[in-house]
Amino acid sequence: MPKKKNKKPLSEYSSWELIGYRFKKNKLAMLGVFMLAVIILVTLLAPLFIPYEKVIEQNVRQKLQGPSLEHVFGTDELGRDMLARVLYGGRISLLCGIAIIAIAFIFGAIIGGIAGFIGGKVDTVLMRIVDALMAVPPALLAMAIITALGNGVFNLVIALAIAQIPRFARTVRSSVLTLRNMEYVEAAKCYGSSSMRIIVKHILPNGIGPIVVAATLTLGAVILSISSMGYLGLGVASPTPEWGTIISENKINIRYYPYLGLIPGLCIMFSVMAVNFIGDGLRDAFDPKSKN
């Protein structure tokens, strides 16, 4: 959206501008944007104040020290600086998490959209494939894919994304199915709209709300599944830090040194919360019935 200095009256806004306007007026959503921006900035700028060596540098004499001036977040069992690990870990967690959701969202939307909009045999075939994927536990599916593609962070992202596609495809399909039969879609056909235009102008704006929310809610689960994969030795392996991995490698000490779990846990929580606020804000922004 181009920025314009001279303020137009609301009535001049296009529908996308209006969505932006409503989003900006939503305080919780803006808080979410702010939180996520802070988290991403801090993790991205980490190299400016902590060198990467700190992440893997072990110092057994200083193991399991609580937060102090020297180690703001304390140290773990091997005496590694938790602050460094959490900051660098966040880069992987967030990047992978968002990438996974994005990939799953795009492919899920395409598959679900095609199945729902075209219907008939195309729908049947696509949905049976999706059903088959859904029948396999996501962790098992991801493991199988990583085994086939080879280990590595990139392949982990692909594997977890594929495991998420069925959920998105199902959600998108069902909302397209209801929307496709609305009379306003028929009206649009009546004045000659192409299928593409109907999808972009009518089905997408009306159906996107629940899908965006589903996407944001999935983020937390995805971050955790990255770590469980890491625990199994797939994808992100120790000593490379990642929020989920940090929790799982410290799990024996969490009972007596709770900060070890608390800090990465809070990071995950705040990220997911921020994304949820944004998701809710987007859903409301797309809906002219919302009070803003």
Partner 1 sequence: MNAPLIEAVNVKKYFKTPRGLLHAVEDVNFKIFEGKTLGVVGESGCGKSTLGRTILRLHEATAGQVLYNGENILEYKKKEMHKVQRNMQMVFQDPYSSLDPRMSVRALIMEPLDVVGTGENLSKSGKREKADRIMELCGLPANHANLYPHELDGGLRQRVGLARAMILEPKFLVCDEPVSALDVSIQAQILNLLMDLQDSKGLSYMFITHDLAVVKHISDEIMVMYMGQVIELASSEELFKRPLHPYTRALLNAIPTIDLSRRNREKVTLKGEVTSPINPEPGCRFAKRCPYATEKCKENPVLKEVEPGHFASCTMGA
Site string for partner 1, 219-248 (x = CB under 8 A): ------------------------------
In three-state form (DSSP H/G/I as H, E/B as E, the rest C), the secondary structure along 86-97 is HHHHHHHHHHHH
Among 41, 42, 49, 189, binds partner 1 (CB under 8 A): 189
Residue 182 as a binder of partner 1 (CB under 8 A): the answer is yes
The residue (of 131 and 186) whose beta carbon lies closer to partner 1 is: 186
Query: By C-alpha distance, which of 179, 169, 161 is closest to 128?
Result: 169
Choose the stretch contacting partner 1; rule: CB under 8 A; options: 135-143, 231-239, 257-265, 282-290: 282-290
Query: By C-alpha distance, which of 250, 244, 237, 251 is closest to 265?
Result: 244
Q: How many C-beta neighbours within 10 Å does residue 96 have? A: 24
Q: CA separation (Å) from 274 to 184, 185, 229, 237?
A: 35, 34, 24, 27
Among 141, 188, 214, 234, binds partner 1 (CB under 8 A): 188
Q: How far apart are CB 188 and partner 1 at their closest, in Å?
A: 8
Residue 122 as a binder of partner 1 (CB under 8 A): the answer is no
Choose the stretch contacting partner 1; rule: CB under 8 A; options: 44-52, 202-210, 214-222, 231-239: 202-210
The residue (of 72 and 182) whose beta carbon lies closer to partner 1 is: 182
Residue 183 as a binder of partner 1 (CB under 8 A): the answer is yes
Choose the stretch contacting partner 1; rule: CB under 8 A; options: 77-85, 133-141, 184-192, 222-230: 184-192
Residue 187 as a binder of partner 1 (CB under 8 A): the answer is yes
Q: How far apart are CB 272 and partner 1 at their closest, in Å?
A: 28
Paired residues of 75 in beta bridges:
81
Residue 178 as a binder of partner 1 (CB under 8 A): the answer is no
Residue 117 as a binder of partner 1 (CB under 8 A): the answer is no
The Cα–Cα gap between 245 and 233 comes to 10
Q: 75: helix, coil or strand?
A: strand
The position carrying tokens 């949820």 is 276
Q: How far apart are CB 145 and partner 1 at their closest, in Å?
A: 38
Among 80, 85, 170, 202, binds partner 1 (CB under 8 A): 202
Q: CA separation (Å) from 133 to 107, 140, 144?
A: 14, 11, 12
For 146-158, give one letter per residue: b (16+ CB within 10 A) or e: beeeeeebebbbb
Query: By C-alpha distance, which of 263, 257, 238, 234 is closest to 249?
Result: 238
The Cα–Cα gap between 166 and 153 comes to 22
Show contacts with partner 1 in window 14-33 (CB under 8 A).
Answer: 15
Q: 291: helix, coil or strand?
A: coil
Query: By C-alpha distance, which of 50, 39, 42 is closest to 84?
Result: 50
Residue 70 as a binder of partner 1 (CB under 8 A): the answer is no
Do residues 281 and 29 lie in contact, with contact meaning Cβ atoms separated by under 8 Å?
yes
Among 10, 48, 69, 135, binds partner 1 (CB under 8 A): 10
The residue (of 91 and 201) whose beta carbon lies closer to partner 1 is: 201
The Cα–Cα gap between 207 and 105 comes to 13
Q: How far apart are CB 69 and partner 1 at their closest, in Å?
A: 54
- Contact set with partner 1 (CB under 8 A): 10-11, 15, 182-184, 186-193, 197, 201-202, 205-206, 286-289
